[in-house]
Amino acid sequence: MKFTRTNRRSPSLSKNNILLRAEGLIKQFPGVLALAGVDLTVLSGEVHALCGENGAGKSTLLKILAGCHPHGSYGGELTRDGKSLAMNSPADADAAGIALVAQELALVAELSIFENIFLGRELSRFGLLRKPEMRKRCAEALRRVGLDENPDTVVGALSVGRQQLVEIAKALDKNARILILDEPTAALTAADADRLNALVRSLSEQGVGCLYVSHRMDEVFAVSDRITVLRDGKSVGSGPISNWTKASVVAAMVGRELEADAAVAPPRVKNTSAPSLELENWSMVHPSLPNRYALEEINFALHPGEILGVAGLMGSGRTALLTSLFGAGRSKLSGRLRLRGNDWRAPFADPRAAMREGLALVSEDRKGQGLVLSASLNENIALATLDKYQRRGLLDWNALRRNAAAIAQSLQVRAAHLDVAAGSLSGGNQQKIVLAKWLETKPTILLLDEPTRGIDVGAKAEIHALIRKFAEAGMSVLVASSDLPELLGLSHRIMVMAGGRQRVILDREHFSQEAVMHAATAT
Amino acid sequence: MKKISWQTLGMLGALALVWIAFAIFTDGVFLTPRNLALLSRQMAVTAMATTGVVLVIVSGQIDLSVGSVAGLCGAAAAMGCTRLGLGVAPAILLAVLLGAAVGLSQGVMVARFGVPPFIVTLGGMLIFQGILLGMTKGVSIVPPDGFLRIGQEFLSKPATWGIGIVGCAFSLWRARRKDGRWLWVAAAAGSIGISILFNAYQGLPLPVLLMLLLATAFWILAEHTAFGRQLYAIGGNRDAAFYAGVPIARRLIAVFTIMGCVSALAGIVLTARVGAASSDAGKMLELDAIAAAVIGGTSLLGGRGRVWGAILGATVMASLDNGMSLLNTEAYWQPIIKGAILVAAVTADLRWRIRK
């Protein structure tokens, strides 16, 4: 990281420089307590880093601050310049001088820069747009963020880094006093990230309070004046940068006990036979940024009966690894793979080819890629194996129903009967249906992406038990998960990914949340 | 196991209401065997087309070229007889192959080149209309008598009974299982009822027989083959189907090819029934077929729809046409009423599903 801190005095906590204060924020979603008491103070002229694991509650907190969750749908209190703040919509946040630059940019690619900046608050007179005025103000805002572009340039033609600057320019034109940046550098090249961080610093020197979310520790320590750490929906520590070290931030992020369920050690692996899957220099070009890699030089071997965990933060390449293995990668792949000690071969062209070789993928997006919600459970279970039930060209519905019922029972699916639509089941039971579909293909290599996301504790334990059972039966399992205790409990080894690369593969005796998080947050 | 489909019941109830209303307003003329036989013959072409349209829509696609392909292939079959001097059977084969080729090319455009089906088939509609006009030069082509019999012949009364008994026996055989038993019992009774009804006039019209055969074939294809179920999966959730190894492009190409064949068959029956191939034959057929499928419970979002439901939908539409003609309603009322019924049926279905 080339960007370095300039020597200057950080603002210190006092009554008259508090821009925004959140006290005891609580937010309950159906089945999940997303925020369980968050305190946060943003000062004028500071860069305030917000750190936490996936699921710690960062996104929920940001949404409340940006007015996306209306006042009253959460507990606790917000105050702005000492006055109580009740926001019901993002427009209220605008009015309060709070601007959010979201991770997924909220720009319309087909419109020009100035049209984007004034979208929804266009300047007009007698119903006609005042384009010269808007162009002038846009140019001024672009100058402030150091973006040398014509206001008429179409946003889609800009790089992601420049689009990010357009978002910030938009916030500045709205006279935002509090700028919230959600992982602003996640999609940027190193040079663009440095430029952005320099801009954030200079904005803070002009008195703007910046709330800065990042997973990159180097960056956090280079840019921010204070750090607040969230864990399990609570703020567990907050203070000036001088009170923190990288190690203490990571410790605060992960410092919880292992759940009893996940702590059961997996059975030993017999390493006698050939690995069921080996990867060599497995790389994939980033689907939307052609000059970057989504996966770079991944190498590992997976043995029969082994559970290999894949850890990493959002965007580290976990999902890309699993989908590309299954022949469903969204861009150009290179590298080779080898199955059961056979010849090295090129990546699979499509999921059909991967299935023929005994692979199965339970994808992270259950509703998007796993289930046909309008179809019955019977059909969802049989979807990948319909050919098996053909008798002289016709489907043998009796055999199909019998098999589906048998496997649904062995996985303890709870449903009135198997003719109901998949959309009517709970998350845990839906996940079991997806598992059932793939078990029907008799896989030897099972790829699981977030197998327990959004599933209640009981069903989660059942699915963990099933995964162990599959491995004991000789299946090789690759589990990607953002749930660290889950990975630590289930896996024989854990591969930690960051920025599309494999950082380290940990053996069970070296397992710890700290070790994983250190590797995952290294840049 | 399976619950009674309220949607099916609702549609049967709506059809019964329409029929009772027309029976009252026409002093019973509507329900005479003669009128019902004519009604069934009128609806046969739309009903044939709608069987294919159901598969297309269930896969999440759309085909706007059904009518113009029907017109084109109907004319091709007629001209095969008159210009090329082919026999009736070879001429029909030629027309169906033409329909298949047209469907295949549209399917390739959609599935391999990724052009939206709306665009491909809208373009196709215009192109085939133009070709048809060029082929016929605006002159009606009258095919030989042997050809016309396809659209105008009635089955003998014993043959009609035979069909009814086969239908009844099959339905009773299916009704031995618990799920959906009441529907199969109703179908068995219906088969006998229909035989009695048609034999009270001149027997089963040949186009109606063709429609029933086609619908049966497509019902089997949709519900009882892996191919059919994969189409529902593609329309219901394309990503899930892809991840489950369904060869999506090949399936879609097959669907459009089948649709082309069905359009050709509908066009041949249409030509034979009206007695000539003309340059505007088949116009609006696709919209009637889509409307019938949608009234019959097919979701334009894909993944949901049944062949027999669409046949019921076609019956509702044809009954409205027929009944309003009997009442001497001015012609402009027919599209207005049909349009309103289409929107009302879908609205009712959606509201009902939200409440559920």
User: Can you give the CATH number for the domain in which B58 is found?
Assistant: 1.10.3470
B226 vs A326: CB contact, 8 Å cut-off? no
On whether residue A110 sits in a domain, the answer given is: no
Same-domain check for residues B245 and B269: yes
Say how far apart CA A89 and CA A73 lie, in whole Å.
12
**Sequence-separated (6 or more) residues with CB below 8 Å from residue A459:** A426, A427, A428, A429, A431, A432, A452
Say how far apart CA A390 and CA B231 lie, in whole Å.
16
pLDDT at position B354 over 80: no
On whether residue B230 sits in a domain, the answer given is: yes
pLDDT at position A271 over 80: no
B246 vs A370: CB contact, 8 Å cut-off? no
Q: What pTM does this model have?
A: 0.77
Question: What string of DSSP letters covers A376-416?
Answer: BHHHHHHGGGGGGGEETTEE-HHHHHHHHHHHHHHTT---S
User: Chain B partners of A440 at a C-beta cutoff of 8 Å?
Assistant: none
Say how far apart CA A43 and CA A76 lie, in whole Å.
19
Say how far apart CA A364 and CA A450 lie, in whole Å.
5
Same-domain check for residues B324 and B252: yes
Same-domain check for residues B280 and B159: no
B304 vs A374: CB contact, 8 Å cut-off? yes
Nearest residue in chain A measured CA to CA from B221: A394
* Residue B249 contacts A where some CB pair is shorter than 8 Å: no
On whether residue A337 sits in a domain, the answer given is: yes
Report which residue type is found at A273: S
* Residue A416 contacts B where some CB pair is shorter than 8 Å: no
Pairing of strands A445-449, A476-480: parallel
Q: What is the pLDDT of residues B315-343, one digit of tens each?
A: 999 999 999 999 988 888 888 988 898 89
Q: What is the pLDDT of residues A90-127, one digit of tens each?
A: 888 888 999 988 877 778 888 889 888 888 778 888 87
Question: Which tokens belong to A293?
Answer: 């890699």
Q: H or E stretch including A92?
A: helix A90-95
User: Chain A partners of B233 at a C-beta cutoff of 8 Å?
Assistant: 372, 375, 379, 383
% of chain A at pLDDT higher than 90: 29
Task: Round the average pLDDT of chain A to a whole number and report it.
Answer: 85
Beta carbons within 10 angstroms of residue B282's beta carbon: 29
pLDDT at position A256 over 60: no
Report which residue type is found at A457: V
**Sequence-separated (6 or more) residues with CB below 8 Å from residue A124:** A130
**Sequence-separated (6 or more) residues with CB below 8 Å from residue B146:** B88
Please indicate whether residue B95 or residue B350 has the higher confidence score (pLDDT): B95
* Residue A221 contacts B where some CB pair is shorter than 8 Å: no
DSSP letter (8 states) at residue B138: T
Say how far apart CA B202 and CA B157 lie, in whole Å.
7
Say how far apart CA A85 and CA A68 lie, in whole Å.
14
User: How many Å lie between the alpha carbon of B272 and the closest alpha carbon of chain A?
Assistant: 33
Same-domain check for residues B53 and B195: no
Beta carbons within 10 angstroms of residue A290's beta carbon: 9
Phi, psi dihedrals of residue A446, rounded to the nearest 5°: -105, 120
Alpha-helical segments (H) within B59-205? 66-82, 88-111, 117-136, 145-152, 157-174, 181-199
On whether residue B185 sits in a domain, the answer given is: yes
Say how far apart CA B307 and CA A304 lie, in whole Å.
47
Segment A145-173 mean pLDDT: 87
User: Chain A partners of B216 at a C-beta cutoff of 8 Å?
Assistant: none
Nearest residue in chain B measured CA to CA from A370: B240
A383 vs B225: CB contact, 8 Å cut-off? no
Residue A259's pLDDT band (boundaries 50, 70, 90)? very low
A395 vs B229: CB contact, 8 Å cut-off? yes
Residue A258's pLDDT band (boundaries 50, 70, 90)? very low
User: How many Å lie between the alpha carbon of B303 and the closest alpha carbon of chain A?
Assistant: 7
| pLDDT value at residue A5 | 53
Nearest residue in chain A measured CA to CA from B2: A419
**Sequence-separated (6 or more) residues with CB below 8 Å from residue B185:** B171, B172, B175
User: Chain B partners of A360 at a C-beta cutoff of 8 Å?
Assistant: none
User: Chain B partners of A351 at a C-beta cutoff of 8 Å?
Assistant: 242-245
Q: H or E stretch including A345?
A: strand A344-345
On whether residue B25 sits in a domain, the answer given is: yes
A390 vs B225: CB contact, 8 Å cut-off? yes
pLDDT at position A130 over 70: yes
On whether residue A490 sits in a domain, the answer given is: yes
| Binding-face residues of A in 381-400 toward B, CB within 8 A | 382-384, 386-387, 389-390, 393-395, 397
End position of a domain, from candidates B176, B202, B228 = B202
Which of B287, B254, B282 lies closest to B269 in space, CA to CA? B282
* Residue A375 contacts B where some CB pair is shorter than 8 Å: yes
**Residue in A369, A381, A424 to test binding to B, most B beta-carbons within 10 Å:** A369
Specify the number of domains making up chain B. Answer: 2
Question: Which tokens belong to A458?
Answer: 């009981």
B224 vs A395: CB contact, 8 Å cut-off? yes
- Option in A352, A372, A395 nearest B240 (CB): A372
Say how far apart CA A423 and CA A380 lie, in whole Å.
11
Same-domain check for residues B293 and B342: yes
Find the domain containing A518 and state its range: 282-358+477-523
| Binding-face residues of B in 70-99 toward A, CB within 8 A | none
B229 vs A351: CB contact, 8 Å cut-off? no
On whether residue B34 sits in a domain, the answer given is: yes
Angstrom distances, CA of residue A311 to CA of A185, A219, A316, A512, A519: 20, 21, 9, 12, 10
User: Chain A partners of B179 at a C-beta cutoff of 8 Å?
Assistant: 419
**Residue in A355, A366, A374 to test binding to B, most B beta-carbons within 10 Å:** A374
**E strands, A117-274, where?**
124-125, 128-129, 178-182, 209-213, 226-231, 234-240
| Beta carbons of A67 and A91 less than 8 angstroms apart | yes
Specify the number of domains making up chain A. Answer: 1
On whether residue A329 sits in a domain, the answer given is: yes
A44 Rama sector, left if φ>0, alpha if ψ -120 to 50, beta otherwise: beta
Q: Assign residue A306 the CATH number of its domain.
A: 3.40.50.300
End position of a domain, from candidates B202, B236, B261 = B202
**Sequence-separated (6 or more) residues with CB below 8 Å from residue A23:** A39, A76, A77, A78, A79
Cα pseudo-dihedral B203, B209, B215, B219, rounded to 10: 80
Say how far apart CA A200 and CA A172 lie, in whole Å.
12
Same-domain check for residues B125 and B172: no
| Beta carbons of B264 and B132 less than 8 angstroms apart | no
On whether residue B1 sits in a domain, the answer given is: no
On whether residue B196 sits in a domain, the answer given is: yes
Nearest residue in chain B measured CA to CA from A353: B245
Question: Which tokens belong to A490?
Answer: 């289930």
Same-domain check for residues B15 and B82: yes
| pLDDT value at residue B3 | 47
Beta carbons within 10 angstroms of residue A477's beta carbon: 24
Please indicate whether residue A152 or residue A189 has the higher confidence score (pLDDT): A152
Same-domain check for residues B240 and B99: yes
Burial of residue A78 (CB within 10 Å: 0-12, 13-18, 19+) is buried
Same-domain check for residues B42 and B128: yes
Say how far apart CA B86 and CA B245 lie, in whole Å.
44
Same-domain check for residues B188 and B211: no
Please indicate whether residue A461 or residue A346 has the higher confidence score (pLDDT): A346
Segment B55-77 mean pLDDT: 96
Residue A1's pLDDT band (boundaries 50, 70, 90)? very low
User: Chain A partners of B243 at a C-beta cutoff of 8 Å?
Assistant: 326, 328, 351, 361, 363, 369-370
End position of a domain, from candidates B178, B202, B226 = B202
A386 vs B229: CB contact, 8 Å cut-off? yes
Say how far apart CA B165 and CA A382 lie, in whole Å.
35
Find the domain containing B186 and state its range: 155-202
Cα pseudo-dihedral B270, B274, B279, B285, rounded to 10: -40
Chain centroid offset of residue A418 CA: 33
Nearest residue in chain B measured CA to CA from A328: B243
Which of B211, B212, B201, B270 lies closest to B37 in space, CA to CA? B201
User: How many Å lie between the alpha carbon of A333 and the closest alpha carbon of chain B?
Assistant: 18
On whether residue B29 sits in a domain, the answer given is: yes
Residue B138's pLDDT band (boundaries 50, 70, 90)? confident
Same-domain check for residues B83 and B12: yes
Same-domain check for residues B165 and B101: no
- Option in A350, A355, A395 nearest B226 (CB): A395
Q: What is the pLDDT of residues B35-64, one digit of tens each?
A: 999 999 999 999 999 999 999 999 999 999
Please indicate whether residue A248 or residue B129 has the higher confidence score (pLDDT): B129
Phi, psi dihedrals of residue A169, rounded to the nearest 5°: -60, -40
Segment of A48-57, A178-187, B107-116 carrying the highest mean pLDDT: B107-116
- ipTM for the predicted complex: 0.76
User: How many Å lie between the alpha carbon of A178 and the closest alpha carbon of chain B?
Assistant: 40
